[in-house]
Each structure stands twice: as C-alpha cells, then as structure tokens.
Amino acid sequence: MKMVSGPRITRALKWLLRGVGAIAVLYLAFFSTIAIAMLQTPERFGLFMRYAPAPLIWRLLPAPRMWLWARKGSLQEGDTAPEFTLSTPDHASRVSLAAHRGQRPVVLVFGSYT
C-alpha cells in the first residue's frame, strides 16, 4: 500500500477549504439578495420574484422564516390601520383607506369563500 505524502494532502485540503469557502460566500450573497428583496414593497418583490429561481429560493433558503421576518409589522391590537390603496377587482380604479376612514367599517378579506 502506497502512502500519500504530506504536501499532497495539504494541497488537497487547501483546495477543499477554498471550495467550501466559495460556496459559503455564494450562499451568503444569495441569502442577502433575497432578504433585501423581501424587505421591498410587495410590488417590487413581485417583480423581483418574476425573474428569480423560485425553486432555489424556497428549497435552499429558510425562505418562509425570512418572509415572516421581513413582513413582521409593528401594529398592535387597537392601533389605527396604516394608509393603503388597492385596485378594484376590475382594475378600473383604486380605493384608499383614507376615503372610508371615519365613515363606515372597513373589512379586508384575504382568501376565498369557495
């Protein structure tokens, strides 16, 4: 049985460490890019995700936790709702919360009744 010399092992270990380091740097850059994108407005994040490799994001990263972290708000029960504007279902016009504030209750339903 032939023994491998010390310098060969050292050189192979250096290349292995460099490869692992390069993968770690790429992962960190990927993680940071996605985290920064998640902190943007939903419209901008949607534009970003249109071109992003979604399977990589949702499988390689802790994306659900990142999303919850990026979208956590500071509202507490009883706080006044922040101002927002939404398109009507037919996209013909936009409706803002300020137009209804103090006039009548506003209920937002996210989901489906079907």
Residue 85 phi, psi dihedral angles, 5° rounding: -130, 135
pTM greater than 0.75: no
Helix (H, G, I), strand (E, B) or coil at 96: strand
Composition of the chain by helix, strand, coil, percent to 5: 55, 5, 40
E-strand stretches of the chain: 85-87, 94-96
Helix (H, G, I), strand (E, B) or coil at 36: helix
Domain residue ranges of the chain, discontinuous segments joined by +: 6-72+79-99
Helix (H, G, I), strand (E, B) or coil at 94: strand
Q: What type of residue is 108?
A: L
CB-side exposure of 28: number of CA atoms within 13 Å?
6
- pLDDT 10s per residue in the chain (114 long)? 555 556 777 888 999 999 999 999 999 999 999 999 999 988 899 899 999 888 889 899 999 999 899 988 888 888 888 888 888 889 899 988 888 888 888 887 777 666
